[in-house]
Every structure is written in C-alpha cells, then in structure tokens.
Structure 1
Amino acid sequence: MAFYTYILRCADSSFYTGQTDNLEQRIAQHQSGYFTGYTYKRRPIELVWSEIFSTRVEALEAERQIKGWSKAKKQALIDGNWGLLSELARNRSDER
C-alpha cells in the first residue's frame, strides 16, 4: 500500500499539508467540503505537491515536518527549488 504527503494551495493562497493512503479521494473530499476544517472555507483547492511513501509513519513524519515550515520554504519545495530550500533550512530565522 502507498501513502502520500501532499500540499494544497487554497483559494486564499495559503497552504494546507496532509497525508493519506488515497490521494485522489482525499483531494475530492477537500474540494467537495467533506471536511469542515481548514480547507472548508478556503475552497477551491489545488494539489500543488505530493510525494509517495511506503509506510504511513514516513508520510506522517513528512507531514509534521512540512507543517512546521514557512510559506517560503513550502513554495521552494513545490517549485523544486532545492538551492533555496537548502538556504532556508540553514537560515531558519530568515524564513518567516
């Protein structure tokens, strides 16, 4: 079974990070308003990044790590800008 960590861009340009074992279904649930949490009033949402993991523990660890990142660091991950991502990781005080 595969597990995914994902980032959504919400209508207000904020990011939401989550994890699931069924990415297509989870995106549809966020889009439909099935969840009444963070994304509910921020629809429509757009999937902007995802990564596949072999265990739920790995996906949860990635979710927790990314949730602690600044918006700039998340955007660097989405863009695949590994240089900026590395720089932001080194300069944690600069990323806010």
Structure 2
Amino acid sequence: MNNSVYILYSKKLDKHYIGFTENLNQRLDFHLNDSQTRKFTYKADDWELIFTIECESKNQGLSIEKHIKSMKSRIYIQNLLQYPEMKFKLLEKYK
C-alpha cells in the first residue's frame, strides 16, 4: 500500500489540485486520461505532479490533505515545494 498526498498543477487553469490516494500511479492515470466531465481535473489536460508526501497510514494522509486544503493558499503550496522540512513537520504533526 502506498498512501500519498499529492498536488497537481495546471498552467492552463493556473490552479492546484490537492488529493490523497492509496495508489498514486493509478490515481494519476485517472486524472490525466479519464473522461469523466464531473471531475475537477477534467477542465485541463496539462496537469503535472509537483508534490507528494508518502504517509504511514490512510488517517495520516487524509489529515495532511485536509490541512493543506484548509490553508487555501497558493503561497503555502509554494512554501511546501521550496522548504522540504515542511513535509517532515506535517508527517510529525499528524503521526
């Protein structure tokens, strides 16, 4: 099992998508190749994976995903990319 929080970015939309999955490769394939028009990522075809955190459990992953989403901040996401120690602090906070 591979519990991961991930962030996708679309230049076309200039938007981020934050998610959690137990199978990152399968989930990326879903975002990039599936044609379900209801899903948010259908609106663009240039999503790229810019960030991942491997989590110890589903609960930890869902808590970290919720935390990142609750920040509602592009700057917070940029800081996650720029400062790797933030990743370790999140893993520690939601152990």
Short-chain TM bin: 0.7 to 0.9
Name the structure 2 match of 1:13: 14
Name the structure 2 match of 1:72: 75
Deviation, 1:76, is 1.1
CA separation in 2, counterparts of 1:45 and 1:21? Answer: 19
Mark the CA change 1:78 to 1:55 in structure 2 (over 3 Å): closer, same or farther: same
Deviation, 1:21, is 0.8
CA separation in 1, counterparts of 2:82 and 2:17? Answer: 16
Deviation, 1:78, is 1.8
* Structure 1: runs of 5+ lacking an equivalent: 84-96
Name the structure 1 match of 2:2: 2
Letter in 2 for 1:25: Q
Give the number of aligned pairs: 83
Scaled by the length of structure 1, what TM-score is found?
A: 0.76
CA separation in 1, counterparts of 2:85 and 2:56? Answer: 23
Letter in 2 for 1:37: K
* Structure 2: runs of 5+ lacking an equivalent: 87-95
Name the structure 1 match of 2:64: 62
**4+ residue stretches of structure 1 with deviation over 6 A?**
none
Deviation, 1:12, is 1.3
Scaled by the length of structure 2, what TM-score is found?
A: 0.77
CA separation in 2, counterparts of 1:23 and 1:81? Answer: 20
Cα RMSD (Å): 1.8
